[in-house]
Amino acid sequence: MREEATAFVPGHVTGFFSAHPDEDPTKAGSRGAGLTLTDGVEVSVEPATESTVVLDGTEAEVEPVTTVLETLDATARVEAAADLPIGAGFGVSGAMALGTALAANRVFERKLSANELVTIAHGAEVQAGTGLGDVVAQAHGGVPIRLEPGGPQDNKLDAIPSRARVEYVSFGELSTADVLSGDTEALTAAGKEALARVVEEPTLLSFMYASRLFARDAGLLTERVTETIAEVSEAGGQASMAMLGETVFALGTGLSDAGYEPSVCATHPAGAVLK
Amino acid sequence: MREEATAFVPGHVTGFFSAHPDEDPTKAGSRGAGLTLTDGVEVSVEPATESTVVLDGTEAEVEPVTTVLETLDATARVEAAADLPIGAGFGVSGAMALGTALAANRVFERKLSANELVTIAHGAEVQAGTGLGDVVAQAHGGVPIRLEPGGPQDNKLDAIPSRARVEYVSFGELSTADVLSGDTEALTAAGKEALARVVEEPTLLSFMYASRLFARDAGLLTERVTETIAEVSEAGGQASMAMLGETVFALGTGLSDAGYEPSVCATHPAGAVLK
């Protein structure tokens, strides 16, 4: 057994998605597309006499992390440091689950493959209702397109072969669990249309356009988000809403040009990695 | 049309493989596993009146690159700078094909997806007989396991969730085309056995062990390679032969500890990226 291992998992903002439930949480998930981000979560795992999770210095209940530890038969202290706002659509819970899986596999020498670890983290996240597609996107990196839902044994991924500077501002949280447990019919229809558009033209511009239409048609826009996206458009930029959070992300200098003081990062070229 | 685009593609040493021919070059390929490397190839593409390929300052005929340009209907000057020895088992031709696909897609605004570009580069490499699995591995990054052959529409990948410092020494070239056009029966049997071993235990140590057995059983070892691997073992390290080149790679400080002055790099966390 090693003393400690640390993984870095990129953040992930989903631009659009459709939900695909399944009794088996490793087969359930979402189709959609998003940006993985150089702002992410660093997750350290060390053996302990009882399992605890600490997020940005404060002890926290993070159900997917607990599930991952149990699945790997690991009793550990998990410490996560997030560069990102929590609960605001950046995939922090998915990042914690995936980072815990990678680091615990190393510390406890569980000898699982990358796909097996991603499957465990994805299943734990789906089961907890905290996300449907972040984990597989965060394992992939870049600008992943989720063509088929589920963990790596079932899904199918492609990607937009581009990179970009990304800016974001966050006004607050939206509960993923609340939205996903509500009526998702309009959302799913809008998600399918957006995906068809991006498959037809896998570029960043078409991704941003499809994301904006999705946010409107799925009925998820808040007033502040609508206003901010409009201001970025007026300044000649491209912005949309992070699914699911009261967060606006923009390509390049979109938010700065519109007078905001955004956080600045970039698309992350790699998936989650052990440090 | 843009003026120029540049992609970085990691090098790739294959530890073991089995060949899987198919009439369709995008379905043909190999199963196996290898290490992608931070030493790689930088490929720049700019529009030109006729297509030329320059490798490390010298004009060169690189068939897969020509095929990629033709497939993308691009007439361009391709300039590649390799951190790696050529023809020695580091996947330089695959890297050039993949880098050209990514950069030409950007320069000529062809709007293809990542999978489409990898498929084109993989098919071009297979058609030229210069490689069977480098391109899909180089698109993935890390320590990829190729479970099923072919381009991204057909293959299935997993990975060993580890990273490592990597050392290598190269004594010269081996012709991939010659080996692949010869009798590959013993090689394929040894490759399947090695893959089963690594799937059973996806760790770097089991990968190195499986690779050494493969090199021996496939009858590809040269005298110098055999000697060097033995010296690394005697010094307590792990080394094997790059498929296909007269090249020895080792984890950590394996070659240094055995008294060599190797090139030093590491596994590359990401797949090929536009710069």
| Residue B83: strand pairing partners | none
Q: Which pLDDT value is given to residue B241?
A: 97
Between chain A and chain B, how many beta carbons pairs sit less than 8 Å apart?
A: 77
Contact B202 A163 (CB under 8 A): no
Q: Which pLDDT value is given to residue A275?
A: 93
Q: Which pLDDT value is given to residue A76?
A: 98
Contact B270 A270 (CB under 8 A): yes
Give B170's pLDDT tier (boundaries 50, 70, 90).
very high
pLDDT over 90 at B67, yes or no: yes
Task: Kindly list the residues from chain A whose CB atom is less than 8 angstroms away from the CB atom of residue B201.
Answer: 111
Coil, strand, or helix at residue A83? coil
Give the gap in angstroms from C-alpha B222 to the nearest C-alpha of chain A.
Answer: 32
Tokens of B9: 């593609």
- Domains, chain B, ordered by start: 1-275 (3.30.230.10)
- Environment class of B193 (CB within 10 Å of its CB; exposed 0-12, middle 13-18, buried 19+): middle
**Which of A106, A111, A202 is opposite residue B113, by nearest beta carbon?**
A202
Give the gap in angstroms from C-alpha A190 to the nearest C-alpha of chain B.
Answer: 21
Give the gap in angstroms from C-alpha B74 to the nearest C-alpha of chain A.
Answer: 17
pLDDT over 90 at B174, yes or no: no
Contact B111 A202 (CB under 8 A): yes
Q: Which pLDDT value is given to residue A260?
A: 98
A105 close to A99: Cβ distance less than 8 angstroms: no
Which of B39-48, B165-174, B182-191 comes out lowest in average pLDDT?
Answer: B182-191
Q: Which pLDDT value is given to residue B160?
A: 98
What ipTM goes with this model? 0.94
Q: Which pLDDT value is given to residue B1?
A: 75
CA distances from A217 to A33, A147, A184, A199 (A): 16, 20, 12, 19
Tokens of A125: 């996240």
Q: Which pLDDT value is given to residue A244?
A: 87
**Which of A105, A141, A163 is opposite residue B274, by nearest beta carbon?**
A163
pTM of the predicted protein model: 0.96
User: In whole angstroms, what is the distance from residue B245 CA to residue B219 CA?
Assistant: 13
Q: Which pLDDT value is given to residue B20?
A: 92
Task: Kindly list the residues from chain B whose CB atom is less than 8 angstroms away from the CB atom of residue A111.
Answer: 201-203
Residues of chain A under the 50 pLDDT cut? none
Contact B159 A269 (CB under 8 A): no
Contact B163 A269 (CB under 8 A): no
pLDDT over 80 at B182, yes or no: no
Give the gap in angstroms from C-alpha B207 to the nearest C-alpha of chain A.
Answer: 12
Give the gap in angstroms from C-alpha A21 to the nearest C-alpha of chain B.
Answer: 24
Among chain A, residues having any CB pair with chain B shorter than 8 Å are 102, 105-106, 111-115, 117, 141-142, 145, 152, 158-163, 199, 201-203, 269-271, 273-274
DSSP one-letter code for B119: H
Beta strand segments in chain B, E: 5-20, 29-47, 52-55, 58-59, 76-82, 144-148, 156-159, 165-172, 239-241, 246-251, 263-266, 273-274
The chain A residue lying nearest B119, using CA atoms, is: A158
pLDDT over 80 at B176, yes or no: no
Give B219's pLDDT tier (boundaries 50, 70, 90).
confident
Chain centroid to Cα A185, Å, comes to 22
Q: Which pLDDT value is given to residue A205?
A: 97
